[in-house]
């Protein structure tokens, strides 16, 4: 949606999700403010929205406005390119910090597990523990899980604090990519160093060359993508299991009027996994029954929902714009939160009901919320206290205020790259070869990753869903993560039967291999699984020798946050074409920085970042890119190739 259209306020649909529309009607009737209504009350600052305001010192803020703004200078002499580049890298530093610090917490938990200091957790995937030990060159023979957990966690935590050495995980990229990073000087050092470097150089009077700032931006984001975030994914798999497909249901209809309903919202599985355990405890369930409830329903919101959806089958209640709507059902006894994408508006909505909003992270509290600090060494005990608090609140529910939309869809989630290999090649011959073969023969034209957020300045789910639908119809395999994965699930796109809605080529491959045309790959931190998949595709052969040659596109149709910008940047640095939709570029005021993000990065990295507000434009640009990459590989003419079927695999 264009900014112009947005300025007109209410003249666009708030959501294409019928459950959201039903709840918004209730919000209107009750006069309860939500993100959907506040977005019309708070108009975006037009100068800040395009990255043309500099407030990093107190001689300003300096605003760059008017036709000649690119020729103007701030009090210090900075031009608009410098200002926009500094604004962009500082946003990415926020996003990268969130993702990488999430990884640090998971690594610290693994260390505690290994040392026997977090008795409620254990190593659930010892094979992955040994795989990760291999990345760090840690010998595994004769070591038990706990000893190895200590060694792996210690090595991993060391990555955050490295001074001049490069991150070990950078070696997981295709060889050619590593050489390119080396040549361009962007191979990432320790994560903490890269963020401090970025904040330091963008202090007033520091780095004042847009290109030079953007080079550091890529290096910092690579440190988060191939470092902190990828470690978050790997160590989560070690502690809670590498995902395999699980069935569940998605949307607000998963809440149960007869149960104590608990929503878990945020990002780190350290908390959500324990809440799942606590809510399944026999004694706790009996306690809920003693209070008159039929049982306990646990449901997730945002990315932590993805984590427990794909590992435990816990139903997702919705993406980030559903967080307030879930409370509006009046049927939620308690929402327990940790970090990121948990909005202050929740407390205002909860006040109208009996709902407790509980914050648990040392890093995050919301004024007016109930505080129960979470500590890994007493994890299950604290999780049980939180669940009991929800049960005790059940009797305070006002039946007259309860309205749960009867809307939910069946979903299958949890396609880790390990599982995709297994699904395509079987236990002993797991391989991406069948996928590559079918991309080469044109049955599958290419792949897109649809990732990231909701944003109330776009119609909720509209861009995501139209893109998913059109891509599969055009034989493009779709991978989804984060809030985009929720959208795909809510709208019925995460089932194997979806192959019937795919184009003839993709449909045939899906039917033969059992692979759904839309694969739920995980949470937002798990976008690193997509880097691994792309690297596997490259290493399997036949589709070029680096990520920028693969016919693939990364898309965030409804982005809202700094994390999304950081993901975009590490994907571009890895060679991907990335398109963001909904709101336009946050630094569009500067033609020079826009040029760096597009033609400049394409020349340097073979990938680029574009902002296209409407989904139709995103779709066309993506298909054109896929065609261009197929042509470059010489695979644009249709070829007939034999599909791998079960007999081939057995052979």
Chain residues in the site for ligand NFS (CB under 6 A): 302-303, 319-320, 340-341, 452-453, 482-483, 524, 561, 563-564
Q: Cis bond leading into 61, ω under 30°?
A: yes
CB of 174 to ligand NFS, least distance (A): 25
| Rounded CA separation 157/25 (Å) | 48
CB of 563 to ligand NFS, least distance (A): 4
**Torsion angle defined by CA atoms of residues 146, 362, 233 and 192, in that order, rounded to the nearest 10 degrees:** -100
Q: Which residues contact 86 (CB under 8 A, 6 or more apart)?
A: 54, 56, 202, 207, 213
Terminal-to-terminal C-alpha distance of the chain: 52
CB of 537 to ligand NFS, least distance (A): 23
Phi-psi category of residue 66: left, alpha or beta, with phi > 0 → left and psi -120 to 50 → alpha: left
CB 487 within 8 A of CB 319: yes
CB of 304 to ligand NFS, least distance (A): 8
Closer residue to ligand NFS in complex, CB, 481/507: 481
CB of 454 to ligand NFS, least distance (A): 6
CB of 102 to ligand NFS, least distance (A): 10
Closer residue to ligand NFS in complex, CB, 180/564: 564
Q: What SS3 state is found at 446?
A: strand
Q: Cis bond leading into 173, ω under 30°?
A: no
Closer residue to ligand NFS in complex, CB, 62/571: 571
Closer residue to ligand NFS in complex, CB, 411/453: 453
Give 140: exposed, middle or buried? Use CB within 10 Å, 0-12, 13-18, 19+: middle
CB of 515 to ligand NFS, least distance (A): 23
CB of 319 to ligand NFS, least distance (A): 6
- Give me the residues paired with residue 579 across strands: 555, 610
| Rounded CA separation 55/51 (Å) | 11
CB of 315 to ligand NFS, least distance (A): 16
As given in the structure block, the two tokens for residue 362 are 């040392």
Closer residue to ligand NFS in complex, CB, 227/316: 316
Closer residue to ligand NFS in complex, CB, 220/509: 220
Q: What angle do CA 627, 633, 638 make, to 5 degrees?
A: 60
Residue nearest ligand NFS, CB atom distance: 482
Closer residue to ligand NFS in complex, CB, 195/303: 303
Choose among 225, 226, 238: nearest CA to 110: 238
Closer residue to ligand NFS in complex, CB, 379/524: 524
Closer residue to ligand NFS in complex, CB, 407/464: 464
CB 543 within 8 A of CB 439: yes
Phi-psi category of residue 230: left, alpha or beta, with phi > 0 → left and psi -120 to 50 → alpha: alpha
Q: What SS3 state is found at 505?
A: helix
Burial 429-457, CB ≥16 within 10 A → b, else e: eebbbbbbbbbbbbbbbbbbbbbbbbbbb
Please give the order of strands across the beta sheet that includes 552-556. Answer: 518-522, 476-481, 446-450, 552-556, 577-580, 608-611
How many Cα atoms are found within 13 Å in the side-chain-facing hemisphere of 576? 32
Closer residue to ligand NFS in complex, CB, 24/565: 565
CB of 335 to ligand NFS, least distance (A): 14
CB of 484 to ligand NFS, least distance (A): 7
Closer residue to ligand NFS in complex, CB, 452/607: 452
CB of 564 to ligand NFS, least distance (A): 4
Q: How far is the CA of 377 from the CAs of 233, 281, 382, in angstroms?
A: 22, 19, 10
CB of 482 to ligand NFS, least distance (A): 3
- Give me the residues paired with residue 318 across strands: 301
Q: Where are the alpha helices (DSSP H) in 340-416?
A: 345-350, 379-393
Closer residue to ligand NFS in complex, CB, 303/308: 303
Closer residue to ligand NFS in complex, CB, 78/341: 341
> In which element (H, E) is residue 333 found?
strand 332-337
């Amino acid at each position: 949606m264009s900014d112009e259209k947005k300025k007109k306020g209410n003249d666009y649909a708030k959501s294409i999700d019928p459950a959201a529309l039903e709840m918004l009607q209730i919000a209107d009737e009750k006069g309860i403010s939500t993100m959907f209504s506040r977005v019309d009350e708070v108009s975006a600052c037009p100068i800040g929205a395009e990255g043309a305001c500099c407030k990093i010192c107190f001689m300003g803020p300096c605003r760059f406005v008017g036709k000649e703004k690119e020729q103007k200078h701030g009090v210090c002499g900075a031009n608009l390119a410098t200002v926009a580049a500094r604004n962009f890298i500082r946003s990415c530093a926020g996003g990268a910090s969130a993702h990488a610090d999430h990884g640090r917490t998971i690594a610290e938990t693994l260390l505690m597990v290994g040392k026997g200091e977090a008795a409620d957790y254990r190593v659930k995937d010892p094979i992955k523990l040994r795989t990760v030990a291999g990345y760090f060159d840690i010998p595994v023979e004769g070591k038990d899980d706990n000893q190895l957990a200590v060694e792996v966690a210690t090595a991993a935590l060391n990555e955050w604090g490295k001074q001049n050495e490069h991150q070990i995980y950078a070696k997981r990229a295709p060889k050619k990519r590593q050489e390119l990073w080396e040549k361009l000087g962007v191979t990432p050092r320790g994560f903490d160093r890269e963020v401090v470097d970025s904040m330091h150089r963008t202090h007033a009077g520091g780095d004042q060359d847009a290109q030079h700032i953007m080079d550091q931006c890529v290096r910092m984001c690579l440190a988060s993508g191939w470092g902190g975030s990828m470690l978050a994914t790997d160590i989560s798999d070690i502690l809670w299991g590498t995902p395999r497909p699980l069935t569940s249901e998605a949307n607000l209809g998963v809440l149960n009027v007869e149960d104590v309903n608990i929503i878990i919202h945020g990002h780190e599985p350290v908390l959500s996994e324990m809440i799942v355990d606590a809510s399944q405890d026999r004694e706790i369930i009996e306690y809920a029954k003693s209070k008159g409830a039929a049982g306990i329903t646990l449901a997730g919101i945002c990315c932590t929902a993805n984590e427990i959806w794909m590992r435990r089958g816990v139903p997702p209640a919705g993406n980030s714009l559903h967080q307030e709507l879930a409370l509006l059902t009046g049927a939620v006894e308690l929402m327990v939160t940790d970090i990121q994408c948990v909005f202050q508006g929740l407390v205002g909505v909860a006040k109208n009901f009996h709902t407790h909003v509980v914050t648990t992270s040392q890093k995050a509290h919301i004024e007016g919320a109930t505080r129960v600090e979470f500590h890994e060494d007493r994890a299950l005990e604290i999780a049980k206290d939180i669940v009991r608090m929800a049960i005790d609140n059940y009797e305070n529910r006002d039946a007259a205020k309860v309205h749960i939309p009867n809307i939910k869809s069946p979903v299958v989630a949890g396609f880790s790259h390990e599982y995709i290999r297994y699904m395509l090649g079987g236990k002993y011959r797991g391989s991406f070869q069948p996928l590559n073969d079918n991309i080469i023969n044109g049955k599958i034209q290419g792949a897109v990753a649809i990732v990231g957020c909701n944003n109330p300045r776009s119609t909720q789910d509209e861009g995501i869903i139209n893109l998913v639908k059109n891509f599969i119809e055009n034989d493009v395999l779709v991978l989804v993560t984060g809030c985009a994965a929720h959208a795909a699930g809510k709208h019925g796109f995460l089932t194997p039967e979806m192959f019937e809605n795919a184009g003839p080529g993709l449909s045939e491959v899906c039917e033969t291999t059992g692979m759904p045309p839309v694969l739920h790959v995980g949470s937002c931190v798990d976008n690193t699984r997509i880097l691994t998949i792309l690297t596997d595709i490259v290493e399997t052969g036949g589709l070029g020798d680096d990520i920028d040659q693969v016919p693939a596109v990364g898309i965030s149709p409804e982005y809202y946050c700094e994390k999304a910008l950081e993901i975009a940047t590490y994907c571009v640095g890895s060679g991907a074409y990335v398109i963001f939709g909904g709101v336009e570029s946050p630094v569009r005021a500067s033609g020079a920085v826009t040029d760096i993000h597009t033609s400049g990065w394409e020349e340097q990295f073979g990938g680029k970042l574009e902002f296209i507000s409407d989904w139709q434009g995103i779709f066309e640009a993506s298909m054109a890119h896929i065609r261009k990459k197929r042509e470059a590989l010489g695979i644009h003419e249709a070829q007939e190739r034999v599909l791998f079927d079960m007999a081939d695999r057995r052979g």
